[in-house]
Amino acid sequence: MSVEELSQAFDVSVVTIRSDLTYLEQQRYLLRSFGKARYLAQKSGDDILVSASDSATRKASETMIARIAVENVGDHEALMLGASEIVHKMVPFLSDRANLSLLVQDLAMAHTAQRFFHCELLLTGGRLENGGTAMTGPDAEASVARRSIDVCLLQASGLDRDGNLLAADPALARVAHAAERTIVLAYQPLLDECSGEVFASAADIDMLLIDEGIDPPTIDTMTRHGLKLERRDSGVLEFRRA
């Protein structure tokens, strides 16, 4: 898609589009050439512009997971965006949804959202620790709990054999909130009960999007909890509530 086409589609100036494309390129969401841009996480393997590395593969996989997650968000919905890398990658792709309300737990994510959205953008508030950007603590937990949320988007750092979803930071786990729909994202999560604090069970969520690197027993655990498996493009496994 050309810069001019993007400018017309979003009804903003070419200068604004170029500025946003520069930001997306710096974050490795896309590659630009001769006035055009394409996502790094494209399906075709015949047009590789950069050599693949572990870091590039991870970013591409996480971006694909983020893009698939966005497919499950509709117009006019209230979203809770948990602090995490993959959820952060969703923000630019959400910009074509109309009249969203965003409740954001991470200051860096809020800054990204301001670049792409003209909608209700709320911060959870809370405590910042160790120079981080995620807001946690009782104030953040209370802010999330008292709001009506259509979709809660969270990232899991680990899974256990009982189907529990884990967050590496206990403070982040405590902010997790049951919404009308809960979508959990993960890339190469640790597969043991000691990798974090439980924030949800597979029985309680509506969708899990994860890379295909998990083992068959973990797949069986997800399906036993009522999540139906669909294999998506680019090595993403989609577990959806049946």
Looking up residue 202, the CATH number of its domain turns out to be 3.40.50.1360
Is the domain of 141 the same as that of 204? yes
| 47 found inside a domain | no
Tell me the residue range of the domain where 34 lies: 1-40
Question: 201-214 pLDDT, tens per residue?
Answer: 999 999 999 988 77
Structure token digits, residue 198: 């439980």
Is the domain of 36 the same as that of 94? no
> Cβ-count burial of 11 within 10 angstroms (0-12 exposed, 13-18 middle, 19+ buried)?
exposed
Is the domain of 33 the same as that of 79? no
| 237 found inside a domain | yes
Give the pLDDT of residue 52.
Answer: 41
Residue type, 159: L
Is the domain of 118 the same as that of 171? yes
Is the domain of 139 the same as that of 187? yes
Is the domain of 30 the same as that of 63? no
Is the domain of 88 the same as that of 64? yes
| 46 found inside a domain | no
User: Does 241 score more than 90 pLDDT?
Assistant: yes
Residue 34: C-alpha distances to residues 3, 41, 127, 139 (Å): 10, 19, 45, 48
Is the domain of 36 the same as that of 56? no
Is the domain of 83 the same as that of 187? yes
Is the domain of 122 the same as that of 35? no
Is the domain of 67 the same as that of 94? yes
Give the whole-angstrom CA distance, residue 26 versus residue 6: 18
Is the domain of 82 the same as that of 185? yes
Question: 146-200 pLDDT, tens per residue?
Answer: 999 999 999 999 988 889 999 988 888 888 877 899 999 999 888 776 778 999 9
Question: 60-115 pLDDT, tens per residue?
Answer: 889 999 999 999 999 999 999 999 999 999 999 999 899 999 999 999 999 999 99
Domain count, the chain: 2
